[in-house]
Amino acid sequence: PGKGNAEGVAAGKGNAGGVAATPPAASASCQYRCIECNQEAKELYRDYNHGVLKITICKSCQKPVDKYIEYDPVIILINAILCKAQAYRHILFNTKINMHGKLCIFCLLCEAYLRWWQLQDSNQNTDPDDFIRYAKEWDFYRMFAIASLEQTAFFTGILTFLWLERPMTAKKKPNFILLLKALLLSSYGKLLLIPAVIWEHDYTPLCLRLIKVFVLTSNFQAIRVTLNISRKVSFLAILSGLLMESTMVYFFQRMEWDVGSDCTIYKSQDL
């Protein structure tokens, strides 16, 4: 439903004789959102004769419901990287993206590889024995499991805080399923962990910190846009998630497991 044609839209503005028809994607059961004021909309555009399209105007703010339907995907991606609320509303509400699970698995693999790489770098062993290679392989699986548990703890902390604050922050019941999908999509910044490892240099710890800040900023914007809440509540939700994640890391460290967390990586590289 996010596809548009700039020439068709321009031509459609002066076409008063065409028969307006609601596009199939904009059915009565599907609700879109205005990217400017977050009000619900029944459709994103009108499809006239001969494929001439005209963008729908929001009745609340009198602006186009979704101007991004005629933008190039690269421009939308750049706006999402800049954490613009309009781009997040377009991606989360006005497009159909079903890659949440795949993106989550790939991000966890990137994070597990980073931790496994740091573990092997700190415990270098040139013994070519098959048992050593087998142990290193299971180290990667262990890092993947630990990274999954930490991310689960992070999301659990956020959802728990927002559920407790629900009577104060939302007029209607929030959609936590949509919020979880938004958090998974907004964690795409973890994909930058692999280039940070491949192009290793003296500033790798700084790059890892910046990637962590970028991911948290994207999660913050996803929470604010999805639930339409204030920046203060979104910030507190992120802090709750970090607290839960830090508790999980502390538990693993008490169990004397090499978790390869961010703090451990920074300390070992500084030394």
Q: What is the pLDDT of residues 155-183, one digit of tens each?
A: 999 999 998 887 655 556 668 888 999 99
| Confidence label for 44 from pLDDT (cuts 50, 70 and 90) | confident
Residue 130 has a CB neighbour count (10 Å cut-off) of 7
Lowest mean per-residue pLDDT among 11-15, 45-49, 163-167, 207-211: 11-15
Q: What is the pLDDT of residues 54-108, one digit of tens each?
A: 888 888 888 888 889 888 989 999 999 999 999 999 998 888 888 888 889 999 9
The closest alpha carbon to 151, from 249, 245, 264, belongs to 245
The predicted pLDDT at position 201 comes to: 63
Q: Which residues, at least 6 apart from 259, have a Cβ–Cβ distance to it below 8 Å? A: 115, 143, 146, 150, 249, 252, 253
| Confidence label for 263 from pLDDT (cuts 50, 70 and 90) | very low
What's the Cα-to-Cα distance from 73 to each of 28, 91, 158, rounded to whole Å?
27, 11, 30
Lowest mean per-residue pLDDT among 68-77, 84-93, 203-212, 253-262: 253-262
